[in-house]
Amino acid sequence: MQNHSGYPTLRSLRRTVFLISMPFFVLGLILPVYGKEIGASVVEIGLFFTAFSIVTVLLRPLVGWGLDHFGRRGFFLTGVAGYAITMVSYAFINQVWGVILARVCQGVASSFLWLSASAITADCAGEDERGKAFGHITQAGSQGGIVGTFIGLTILLSDYTLDFQGLHLNSWMLLFLIYGLVNCFALLMAARQLPETRPVSHGERIEPIHWSRAWILLLLVTLVTGASAAMLAPILIIFLQDKLSIGIETLAWAFLPTGLVSALLPAYLGRLADRFGRKPMMVLGLIAAAATSFIVPGLGNIFGLTVVWAFQALCYAAGDPAEQALVADLTGVQQRGRAYGLYVMCADLGAAIGPLGGAWLYQTINPQAPFIANGIILAGCAAVLWIFLKMPDMKSAVEVEEDQPA
């Protein structure tokens, strides 16, 4: 079942996601380094990531409920506006508590924007093209990240300064003011072009989510894998800098092939999930990601890091669109907001736990411990999915969905 009328909406969504995503890779890359520069400990750097995740854990279910009861568009526009405010705030932060507050604001924006983006994508794409549609959204975000990284590193490495009407702007401040302006433009564009994809009639009865065994298993695996992968967030760049003795600009170039994989392949791999099923792509992605996590601690040069991390990006590009499409497959059109709210809440709950756990393993056991633990957990989750996940009858699911009011 294809929804050709949703193509213009998906194009508009991709353009907005492209612009919004420009700061993300640069922010993830330099936030731990910037934290060290302003005096943050490894645990406090972990708190940068945990503060973001705690906010999203609390808000996702509420936003999901709102998406089903009030529609998607207003929540999406609020999220874009929140990102614009957050990027401008980063320009003026030079203390640990300020970074934490900015991450809280970013968590609020993330809760609104990405849940509504997922619901809009599921609304506009039929069952036989959802993997491809979610892959296109992933690609748009990665493409925006590549462009934003090029802009960011150009400004940061040039150490550019600007005096504007008595205000002295260093390269960090200038960069995030530019990101804020780009996000403001994204807000104006989305407000003009993005329609409501689920108008809600007054008095419409909203059906509850059906808690099937497959749905519960997906949520549990999402929670565990989210915590596992997030263990590496606060320590990865620090670990690589210490082990390979290279600068942040060299690490950025090493991650470029990773960005290219994420920018070019998710839609294609999403089509494979539409053709061969969600489960095989999810399991293969987890197994391969586990293997790369075991390999990283033994890397001795930048070339090996580049190859391994590009391969891991390929793994996630295969698994993520399939997993996101499965959420819509397991729930109906009336439940999508709450379904994606619960799904992303589980991922964020894991992400809230993971960074502190990774930092603790790094400091108290050894720097390799978070990587080994992550590999074991991902491989175990792949085995659980393969053995216990029973896929729904998609023909029946589509028939039920078509019977529900739009």
- pLDDT per position as a tens digit, 185-226: 999 999 999 998 887 766 677 788 888 899 999 999 999 998
By residue count, the chain amounts to: 406
Q: Has residue 57 been placed in a domain? A: yes
Q: Has residue 170 been placed in a domain? A: yes
Per-residue burial over 335-374, b = 16 or more CB atoms within 10 Å of its CB, e = otherwise: bbbbbbbbbbbbbbbbbbbbbbbbbbbbeeeeebbbbbbb
Three-state secondary structure string covering 153-191? HHHHHHCCCEEECCEEECHHHHHHHHHHHHHHHHHHHHH
Task: Give strand pairing partners of 168.
Answer: 163
Residue 216 CA to chain centroid, in angstroms?
21
Q: Has residue 203 been placed in a domain? A: no
Q: Has residue 228 been placed in a domain? A: yes
pLDDT digit string, tens, across residues 219-267? 999 999 989 888 887 777 777 767 777 666 676 677 778 778 888 888 8
Instruction: Give, rounded to a whole angstrom, the gap between the first and last alpha carbons of the chain.
Output: 15
pLDDT for 403 beyond 50: no
The total domain count for the chain is: 1
Nearest to 130 by CA among 285, 321, 319: 321
Q: Provide the pLDDT for residue 164.
A: 53
Q: Provide the pLDDT for residue 400.
A: 41
pLDDT band at 45 (very low <50, low <70, confident <90, very high): confident
pLDDT for 160 beyond 70: no
Q: Name the most confidently modeled range: 243-252, 266-275, 389-398.
A: 266-275
What is the spatial distance between Cα 401 and Cα 244, in angstroms, rounded to a whole number? 52
Q: Provide the pLDDT for residue 402.
A: 41
Q: Has residue 165 been placed in a domain? A: yes
Residue 300, phi then psi, degrees to nearest 5: -120, 0
Residue 17 CA to chain centroid, in angstroms?
11
pLDDT band at 397 (very low <50, low <70, confident <90, very high): very low
What is the spatial distance between Cα 161 and Cα 66, in angstroms, rounded to a whole number? 44
Q: Has residue 247 been placed in a domain? A: yes
pLDDT band at 114 (very low <50, low <70, confident <90, very high): very high
Q: Which two tokens stand for residue 185?
A: 């433009």
Q: Has residue 23 been placed in a domain? A: yes
Contacts of residue 330, Cβ cutoff 8 Å, sequence gap at least 6 = 212, 214, 215, 218, 339, 392, 397
DSSP assignment string, 213-270: HHHHHHHHHHHHHHHHHHTTTTTHHHHHHHHH---HHHHHHHTHHHHHHHHHSHHHHH
Per-residue burial over 295-326, b = 16 or more CB atoms within 10 Å of its CB, e = otherwise: bbbebeeeeebbebbbbbbbbbbbbbbbbbbb
pLDDT for 129 beyond 60: yes
Single-letter code of the amino acid located at 85: I
Q: Provide the pLDDT for residue 393.
A: 56
Q: What value does the mean pLDDT of the chain take?
A: 83
Q: Has residue 364 been placed in a domain? A: yes
Q: Which two tokens stand for residue 93?
A: 């932060």
What is the spatial distance between Cα 206 and Cα 169, in angstroms, rounded to a whole number? 51
pTM for this entry: 0.79
Ranges 28-32, 134-138, 381-385, 394-398: which has the least confidence? 394-398
Single-letter code of the amino acid located at 396: S
Range of the domain at 273: 4-198+209-403
CATH number, domain with residue 147: 1.20.1250.20
